[in-house]
Amino acid sequence: MIVVRQALTATDADVLNGTDLENLPGAGVLIVYAASSQADGTLTITGRGFEVPIREQALPLRTNGQPSQQDDAPIIVGVPAGGKVLLSYTEVTAATAVFEVYFLGPGEAMGGGGRRR
């Protein structure tokens, strides 16, 4: 499992740029939790080698911009080997947005591991 956490204060066309998930290590599943301190922040997810239909999805509103794994539904995306995923955040009103992205490989995604806290 690979975990990336990013806090942003401006629009970002590639949230995963410069992180361990900039290029995917193989096939698996991405689990994305995200929230914004303003109600008008949106998330778009696109991919190379596959199409992910997440376009301008509104982020949950959280006073501090921190997503809640208990209250916010995750976005779950299957990704192929050799793929690249672009998470794009669009800020309309000045805000803080936090993204928690988990990559699970095939064994982890099928119950052979999984997220542990």
Q: Is residue 83 over pLDDT 90? A: no
* pLDDT tens per residue across span 29-72: 999 999 999 999 999 999 876 676 788 999 999 998 999 999 99
Give the model's pLDDT for residue 53.
Answer: 72
Distance of alpha carbon 13 from alpha carbon 26, whole angstroms: 22
pLDDT at 109 over 70: no
CATH 2.60.120 is held by the domain 2-109 = yes
Task: Give the model's pLDDT for residue 115.
Answer: 42
Query: Under 8 Å CB-to-CB from 82, ≥6 apart: which residues?
Result: 24, 49
Phi, psi of 31 (to 5 degrees): -120, 120
- The whole-number pLDDT of residue 117 equals 36
Find all residues with CB under 8 Å of 6, minimum gap 6, and list them: 15, 16, 19, 98, 99, 101
- Tell me whether strands 54-58 and 42-48 are parallel, antiparallel or unpaired: antiparallel
In this prediction, what percent of the chain has a pLDDT beyond 70? Answer: 89
